[in-house]
Structure 1
């Protein structure tokens, strides 16, 4: 959809975020930019964040050309210094901060036996530590001022289910969800909501996965993705996710906190908090011999790991790579 038309269409309704200010980390391009554009379309002034000045400037221009308000902080997410710079920029430029979306991330995919310390630390620093430092800075400022706020942290299906070759990414994304649940408890009294979103959309990462080839190609041509992807897989565009981000960053979601929301294509999901699926007792406890001889009988069917995809229809199967 043409971005100018998108802003124009939304301006016909009352903008849900008019007068508010939002920070979106890692928002120079991709999913983060889609989130920033939607927040701006709903009336928020947006602080763009990226490691590239050129990319950040282009994102700001795209939003302002469409009638929105945006400015940028160019810095890598992870350190306390960057977190402070982002929050300071919001207050110094716009006089307030209402919502924070922690989206910044990188990938260093390798199998366990090939993953280096540097591969692991780099991903953990940006995703996990970057989420922690930014949320801590925003929440601290809100609590000191006695103001409410909305925090939206970006998770991943990998953090929920695991994925081959992504030890570091899975650890970071599952850790983010654990922090979200903890922060929801800690910040509830202050009126600060904290939620996680699990997006499923065409990104630079999914572009390389043959299973999604036909969907990504349709998106790149500006065509609607095949219904199978949007409905059966809940896989769509970045814009399909953005509305959920804006909703959770608004006062319309004041009663929602500590939740993990999945969104993609035509599908919306609410992920459960981990609960025991089987509970059994044995008088005197469970010895090695008890477990060796009766573990499967005691606990029943084991839990699956990894994402499970349905069979692709023949017409949507990926074409052989030359």
Structure 2
């Protein structure tokens, strides 16, 4: 029971990836505050944890507002005596291309993912610092935030922003011995269930069957439980030396994402005027321009739907 005596808050944990995180933390000994906007889902999540011998309570509220963040931290303190772990997972999708995306589409996703992560981490960090807790903060990112994805302006902005905040918070909270990391999951979710490319994997998962090795190994695409282990590990004392990192996980694969670094550096005496750039830039960047989005290999014939 690596997390015995610890208390965790997991936002958006009524179902899917968030539920897997909450259940794994509880399985490792932590008491868990479950959060969701769906009261029935939250109650079912609590029941599943308690049914397995764990401890959990629910807070039914949308993340984003400061009031919800304060309620989550206070519930952890009132119900279990403190707060050691925060996992910010709550989110929604409002996918559409740029020219069709409304203000509400954008604001809703940014408000829940980005603002919700900010308000919850701020509240948790204040409490942890005031009480001398060497806490663990784990924020959930996405490959979309790392690489971009067609039709997801709002989601990409929010997830990229989360990783930027994680790197900043790792610096700010280092003296308090609070670690902050981003997990980049690749798993069967409500979002990937709508993508034909992943149909065979999602179908296997829904049937409770093993996913084909092509997905698990070649693509690093798996189940929610495949991600939960990393979340729980980052919450332990063993991960005290890991902070400010973006770590991808899915299927049989784990990845450490690099921080953005220059791939080309060039100098021009007197500076880069328009004329100098016109003359030299095409040759400098030839073969160096960076790709956008993710490119997947062709599906094997036996997995095509």
Q: TM-score, normalised by structure 2?
A: 0.99
Please state if 1:40 is matched with 2:4: no
Aligned partners of 2:253 and 2:260: how far apart in 1? 21
Runs of 4+ aligned structure 1 residues displaced above 2 Å come to: none
SS at the partner of 1:163?
A: coil
CA deviation vs aligned residue, 1:28-68 (integer Å, no higher than 9, x gap): 00000000000000000000000011110011001111111
Q: What residue in structure 2 maps to residue 305 of structure 1?
A: 292
Q: Number of residues paired by the alignment?
A: 304
The Cα shift of 1:23 comes to 0.3
Q: Report the RMSD for the aligned CA atoms in angstroms.
A: 0.7
Q: What residue in structure 2 maps to residue 114 of structure 1?
A: 100
Q: What residue in structure 2 maps to residue 135 of structure 1?
A: 121
Aligned partners of 2:162 and 2:208: how far apart in 1? 33
Aligned partners of 2:282 and 2:72: how far apart in 1? 51
The Cα shift of 1:249 comes to 1.1
Aligned partners of 1:314 and 1:186: how far apart in 2? 50
SS at the partner of 2:117?
A: helix
Aligned partners of 2:283 and 2:68: how far apart in 1? 52
* Mean Cα deviation higher: 272-281 or 290-299: 290-299
Aligned partners of 1:32 and 1:269: how far apart in 2? 20
Please state if 1:230 is matched with 2:213: no
The Cα shift of 1:80 comes to 0.3
Alignment of 1:211-290 (within 5 A): 211-290=197-276
Please state if 1:181 is matched with 2:190: no
Runs of 5+ in structure 2 lacking a partner?
none
The Cα shift of 1:299 comes to 2.9
Q: TM-score, normalised by structure 1?
A: 0.93
SS at the partner of 2:170?
A: helix
Aligned partners of 2:303 and 2:281: how far apart in 1? 42
CA deviation vs aligned residue, 1:77-105 (integer Å, no higher than 9, x gap): 00100000000000011001110000000
SS at the partner of 2:249?
A: strand
Aligned partners of 1:83 and 1:141: how far apart in 2? 11
Q: What residue in structure 1 maps to residue 54 of structure 2?
A: 68
